[in-house]
């Protein structure tokens, strides 16, 4: 892999249980993001996508805790950085957009105030200059009459506009990495597509590296270069988007592909993957997907398959397709 902007190495996130034990929700995750690269992280609910990226941002709340591994951003180990350093990096070098634009904005403050606060916290600029930067950011995300819209409160915006405002806040300080965690799931399908297009456009314009988290492989595939598939707190497959789409090697990826309707194509019946995702602390010793896997042999549940790299396409499966 080329010199990475972000390199996540052996990341583990755990929870202390009531009886003093530890359950791991993220169990040794490795992946890289190159400068300007867009990477999708996909997987069913509970696979550890959000916890992994919250750990990267050092935003895990108790009882979750990073218990192992390294997160190297531009040469610096974020898991070893102090909180002051993280506050400087968050919002300036690494920005995050969450699923629910409603709860990510403060309803009591104008949109303009919320963006200018971020700008002033990170860039030593005057109030007037911060307003100019905020208006420019709002305009860039496609909000018309941006200068006047700075005075609006979040409730005066539609759901799609609120998500745009959050993206404006995220890009206002020109970060190098944008982490978008299910940024479209709360929106209707048309608006979803617009937000995905917007993120793709900003990425090109600003040479932004993007980590885009979603359940929806098809949606992610439209804008990313590479896809990381997670299951049971592990990376089970990671490769160029074309390879993942055309020739997935992990049976889970194949099923995930069949699972989700395309945004642009006809909406067919959803073929759900049979069985339920694993519960924390109830994972088999071997491949976490083996209990649901149509290709599994008995031996698959004995030992976790290693993530094997073949020309930049990594797969953790004893019986890859």
Q: Which residues form the interface with Mg ion (CB under 5 A)?
A: 50
CA distances from 77 to 8, 137, 162, 189 (A): 10, 30, 33, 38
Helices (H), the chain: 49-56, 83-89, 101-104, 111-122, 127-140, 146-149, 159-171, 189-206, 217-221, 241-246, 251-259
CB neighbours of 304 closer than 8 A, spacing ≥ 6? 234, 285, 286, 287, 288, 316
Phi, psi for residue 224 in degrees, rounded to 5: -105, 160
Minimum separation from the CB atom of position 45 to ligand ATP (A) = 3
**Contacted by 51, from Mg ion, ligand ATP, none: CB < 5 to 8 Å by type:** ligand ATP
Pick the closer one to ligand ATP by CB: 64 or 256: 64
* Residue placing its CB nearer to Mg ion in the complex, 62 or 311: 62
What would the two tokens of residue 60 be?
Answer: 């895990």
Q: What is the DSSP string of 21-79?
A: -EEEEEEEEEEEE-TT-EEEEE--TTSSHHHHHHHHTT-PPTTEEEEEEEEEETTEEGG
Beta carbon of residue 216, minimum distance to Mg ion (angstroms, whole number) = 13
Cβ atoms 154, 106 nearer than 8 A: yes
Closer residue to Mg ion in complex, CB, 14/305: 14
**Partner interacting with residue 14 (select from Mg ion, ligand ATP, none; CB below 5-8 Å by kind):** none
Minimum gap (Å) between residue 273 Cβ and Mg ion: 18
Site for ligand ATP, rule CB under 6 A: 15, 25, 43, 45-51, 63-64, 215, 280
Q: Cβ closer to ligand ATP: 68 or 147?
A: 68
For the bound state, the minimum distance from the C-beta of residue 23 to ligand ATP, rounded and expressed in Å, comes to: 8
Residue 215 binding target from Mg ion, ligand ATP, none, CB below 5 to 8 Å by type: ligand ATP
For residue 53, the minimal CB distance to ligand ATP (Å) is 8
Nearer to Mg ion, 214 or 290 (CB): 214
């Amino acid at each position: 892999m080329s010199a990475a902007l972000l390199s996540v190495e052996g990341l583990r996130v755990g929870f202390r249980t009531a009886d003093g034990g530890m359950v791991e929700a993220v169990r040794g995750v490795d992946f890289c993001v190159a400068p300007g690269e867009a990477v999708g992280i996909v997987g069913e609910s509970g696979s550890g996508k959000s916890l992994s990226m919250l750990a990267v941002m050092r935003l895990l709340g108790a009882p979750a805790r990073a218990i192992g591994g390294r997160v190297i951003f531009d040469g610096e180990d974020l898991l070893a950085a102090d909180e002051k350093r993280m506050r400087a990096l968050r919002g300036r070098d690494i920005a995050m957009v969450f699923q629910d634009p409603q709860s990510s904005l403060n309803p009591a403050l104008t949109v303009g105030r919320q963006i200018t606060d971020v700008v002033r916290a990170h860039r030593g600029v005057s109030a007037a200059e911060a307003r100019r930067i905020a208006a420019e950011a709002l305009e860039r995300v496609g909000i018309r009459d941006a200068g006047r819209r700075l005075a609006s409160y979040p409730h005066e915006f539609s759901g799609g506009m609120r998500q745009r405002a959050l993206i404006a806040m995220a890009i206002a300080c020109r970060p190098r990495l944008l982490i978008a965690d299910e940024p479209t799931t709360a929106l209707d399908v048309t608006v979803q597509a617009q937000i995905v297009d917007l993120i793709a456009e900003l990425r090109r314009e600003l040479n932004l590296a993007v980590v885009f988290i979603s359940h929806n492989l098809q949606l992610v595939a439209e804008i990313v270069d590479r896809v990381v598939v997670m299951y049971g707190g592990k990376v089970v497959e990671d490769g160029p988007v074309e390879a993942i789409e055309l020739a997935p090697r992990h049976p889970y990826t194949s099923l995930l592909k069949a699972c989700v309707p395309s945004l642009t194509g006809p909406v067919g019946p959803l073929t759900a993957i049979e069985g339920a995702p694993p519960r924390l602390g109830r994972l088999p010793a071997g491949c976490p997907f083996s209990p649901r896997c149509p290709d599994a042999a008995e031996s698959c549940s004995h030992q976790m398959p290693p993530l094997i790299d073949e020309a930049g396409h990594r797969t953790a499966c004893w019986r890859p397709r």
